C-alpha cells in the first residue's frame, strides 16, 4: 500500500490530537510537533474537520481536537477522508486472471488491519496483535 505524503501528514496530525487527550491544540503546535508544513497542515485539518473527524474553535483558547474518542477513530477513517474510497480490482486476462483474486485478498487484509488499529493504539504505543 502506498500512502501519499498528505495522508501520512493527516495520520500524524490525528495521532498528535489523540495524544493531547482531548484538549485543543493549535495548528502551529501540531505543525511543529510533527514537522508538517503549516500551510499544508491547514488544508489537511480543514478536510478532517469537514469529514467530521475533528472539531475546531477560533480564538486564544481555540484549536483542534478529535470529534470522537481516539479509540473510536481508526486509521482507515483518516485514510479514507484523504485518499477516498479504495478502487476496485483490475481484471486480468487469460492465465493472469487469478491475480485479481490475490489483489482483492491483499486489499481486504489491508483494510481489516487499518480498521482494527485506532488513533488511541498509536498514541499510546499499544498496538493490538497483528
DSSP characters for 97-123? THHHHHHHHHHHHHHHHHHH-BHHHHH
Phi-psi region of 101 (alpha: psi -120 to 50; beta: other; left: phi over 0): alpha
Examine residue 36 and state whether it is found in any structural domain, yes or no.
Answer: yes
Q: What is the mean pLDDT of the chain?
A: 92
pLDDT tens digits along 31-56: 999 999 999 999 999 999 999 999 99
Give SS3 for 64: strand
DSSP H or E stretch at residue 95: none
Examine residue 98 and state whether it is found in any structural domain, yes or no.
Answer: yes
Examine residue 129 and state whether it is found in any structural domain, yes or no.
Answer: no
What is the domain count for the chain? 1
Examine residue 64 and state whether it is found in any structural domain, yes or no.
Answer: yes
Are the C-beta atoms of 9 and 41 separated by less than 8 Å?
Answer: yes
pLDDT tens digits along 87-117: 666 788 899 989 988 988 988 999 999 999 9
Examine residue 57 and state whether it is found in any structural domain, yes or no.
Answer: yes
Domain at 21, CATH number: 1.10.10.10
Are the C-beta atoms of 69 and 120 separated by less than 8 Å?
Answer: yes
Examine residue 55 and state whether it is found in any structural domain, yes or no.
Answer: yes
The reported pLDDT for the residue numbered 46 is 97
The reported pLDDT for the residue numbered 2 is 83
The reported pLDDT for the residue numbered 90 is 73
Examine residue 19 and state whether it is found in any structural domain, yes or no.
Answer: yes
Q: Which domain holds residue 38?
A: 5-124
Examine residue 14 and state whether it is found in any structural domain, yes or no.
Answer: yes
The reported pLDDT for the residue numbered 62 is 87
Amino acid at each position: 500500500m502506498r500512502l501519499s505524503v498528505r495522508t501520512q501528514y493527516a495520520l500524524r496530525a490525528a495521532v498528535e490530537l489523540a495524544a493531547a487527550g482531548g484538549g485543543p491544540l493549535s495548528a502551529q503546535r501540531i505543525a511543529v510537533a510533527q514537522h508538517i508544513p503549516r500551510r499544508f497542515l491547514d488544508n489537511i485539518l480543514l478536510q478532517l474537520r469537514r469529514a467530521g473527524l475533528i472539531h475546531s474553535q477560533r480564538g486564544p483558547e481555540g484549536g483542534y481536537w478529535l470529534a470522537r474518542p481516539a479509540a473510536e477513530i481508526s486509521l482507515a477513517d483518516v485514510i479514507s477522508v484523504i485518499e477516498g474510497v479504495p478502487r476496485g480490482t483490475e481484471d486480468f486476462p487469460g492465465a493472469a486472471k487469478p491475480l485479481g483474486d490475490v489483489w482483492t485478498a491483499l486489499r481486504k487484509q489491508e483494510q481489516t488491519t487499518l480498521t482494527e488499529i485506532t488513533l488511541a493504539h498509536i498514541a499510546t504505543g499499544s498496538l493490538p496483535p497483528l
